[in-house]
Structure 1
Amino acid sequence: MSIVNVMWAGGLPFASVHKVHCQIISQIDSALPVKTWLLQGSASACQENMGAAREWNLASARLKGRHFWRLLKPWMHSRFRRALLDDEARVVLLDGIGVVRTLLPVLKSLPHVRVVVVFHGATRFNAKSKQLLRDFPSSRLVLAAVSETLAASLQDELGVQVTALRSAFDPVAFQSRLVTREEARARLGLPQAGVRIFGAIGRLVEKKGFSSLLEAFAIAALDQPDWRLVIVGEGPARRALEARVAQPDLAGKVMLAGHQEDVVKLYKAFDWVMIPSFEEGLGLILQEAVLSGIPVLASDLAVFREQLADVGWYVPAGETIAWSEAIIRASLAQTDAVSAAQYQALAPDEAWVSFCRTAQGLISGGK
Structure 2
Amino acid sequence: MPRRIKVLQLQPDYNVKAHDFADLAEQIVKALPGERYEVVAAFLRGKPQPGEPVSRAARSVYFEFADKQLKGLRLRAMWQLYQFCRAEQFDVVICNRFKPVNMMLQLNRWLKIPLCIGISHGFGEYDRFYRRRQARRLIDTAWRFVGVSPAVKQYLLDCACGFTEHNTVAITNAIDIEQAAALQHSREDARRLLGLDPNARLVGALGRLVPVKGHTYLLQAFAKLKDIYPQAQLAIIGKGREESRLLAEVERLGLGGRVHLLGFRENALQYVRAFDIWTMPSLAEGLGLALLEGMSGHLPVIASNVPAMLPLIEGAGGIAVPPADVDALSQALNSYLQLSDEQLQAKGEQAYAYLCANHDIETFRQQYRQLIDESLSQASASQ
| TM surpasses 0.5 | yes
Q: Which of 19, 25, 31 is matched with 1:21 structurally?
A: 25
Contact 1:5 1:34 in 2 (8 A): yes
Distance of 2:241 and 2:65 partners within structure 1: 23
Corresponding position of 2:34: 30
Letter in 2 for 1:57: E
> 2:163 aligned with 1:160, yes or no?
yes
Higher mean displacement: 49-58 or 215-224: 49-58
State the Cα distance separating 1:20 from its structure 2 match.
1.6
Provide closer, same or farther for how the CA distance between residues 49 and 78 of structure 1 changes in structure 2, counting only shifts above 3 A: closer
- Identify the match of residue 62 of structure 1 among 69, 73, 76: 69
In structure 2, the partner of 1:274 is 279
TM-aligned CA distance change 1:270 to 1:203, over 3 Å: same
Whether the 8 Å CA contact 1:63–1:102 is kept in 2: the answer is no
Residue 42 of structure 1 is matched in structure 2 by: 47
CA distance in 2, matches of 1:301, 1:346: 19
Match of residue 125 from structure 2: 124
Matched, 1:300 2:305: yes
1:154 CA drift (Å): 1.2
For residues 275 and 131 of structure 1, do their structure 2 counterparts lie closer, same or farther at Cα, with a shift above 3 Å needed? same
Cα distance, 1:137 vs. partner? 5.6
User: Which amino acid letter does the alignment assign opposite residue 108 of structure 1?
Assistant: R
2:31 aligns to what SS in structure 1?
A: coil
Q: Note if contact 2:303-2:319 (Cα within 8 Å) is conserved in structure 1.
A: yes
SS at match of 1:7: strand
Alignment of 1:1-367 (within 5 A): 2-10=6-14, 19-31=23-35, 32-44=37-49, 49-51=54-56, 53-65=60-72, 70=73, 73=75, 75-125=76-126, 126-136=128-138, 138-158=140-160, 159-161=162-164, 162-192=168-198, 194-247=199-252, 249-309=254-314, 311-333=317-339, 334-348=343-357, 351-366=360-375
SS of residue matched to 1:108: helix
The Cα shift of 1:258 comes to 0.8
> What's the offset of the Cα at 1:281?
0.6
2:125 partner SS: coil
Greater Cα offset, 232-241 or 122-131: 122-131
- The secondary structure found in structure 1 opposite 2:91 is strand
Amino acid of the residue matched to residue 55 of structure 1? Y
Shift of the alpha carbon at 1:122? 0.6
- C-alpha displacement of 1:202: 0.5
In structure 2, what residue type is equivalent to 1:178? Q
Q: 1:20 is matched by which residue type in structure 2?
A: L
* SS of alignment partner, residue 122 of structure 1: coil
Deviations 1:166-191 (A, max 9, x none): 01123223222222111111221112
Judge conservation of contact 2:294–2:301 (CA < 8 Å) in 1: yes
Residues 340, 303 of structure 1: CA spacing in aligned structure 2 closer, same or farther, 3 A cutoff?
A: same
Whether the 8 Å contact between 2:212 and 2:282 is mirrored in structure 1 is yes
With 52-61 and 352-361 compared, the bigger mean Cα shift is at: 52-61
Calculate percent identity across the aligned residue pairs: 25
> Post-superposition shift, 1:109?
1.1
Give the direction of change, closer, same or farther, for the CA distance of 1:29–1:136 in structure 2 (3 Å limit): farther
For 1:96, give the aligned amino acid: R
Whole-angstrom distance in 2 between the partners of 1:17 and 1:237: 27
Counterparts of 2:53 and 2:282, CA distance in 1:
23
Structure 1 unaligned residues grouped into runs of 5+: none
> What is the rounded CA distance, in whole Å, between the counterparts of 1:48 and 1:153 in structure 2?
34
What is the CA–CA distance in structure 1 between the aligned matches of 2:105 and 2:21, rounded to whole Å? 19
Q: CA deviation at 1:18?
A: 7.8
| TM-score, length basis structure 1 | 0.88
Distance 1:350 1:17, change over 3 A: closer
Cα drift, residue 302 of structure 1: 2.3
Give the secondary-structure state (helix, strand or coil) at the position aligned to 1:293.
Answer: coil
How big is the shift at 1:304? 1.9
Structure 2: distance between partners of 1:348 and 1:269: 24
CA distance in structure 2 between the aligned counterparts of 1:345 and 1:181, rounded to whole angstroms: 21
Cα distance between partner residues in 1 of 2:285 and 2:13: 20
The DSSP-based 3-state class of the residue aligned with 1:184 is helix
Question: Alignment RMSD, CA only?
Answer: 2.7
The unaligned stretches of length 5 or more in structure 2 are: 377-383
Q: Do the aligned residues in 1 keep the contact of 2:234 with 2:259 (CA within 8 Å)? A: yes
Give the number of aligned pairs: 357
Q: Is contact 1:204–1:238 with CA below 8 Å preserved after alignment?
A: yes
- Does the CA-based 8 Å contact 2:119-2:146 persist in structure 1? yes
**Counterparts in 2 of 1:77 and 1:303: CA distance versus 1, 3 Å:** closer
Aligned-pair distance for 1:351? 4.2
For residue 4 of structure 1, what is the amino acid of its counterpart?
A: L
Q: TM-score, normalised by structure 2?
A: 0.85
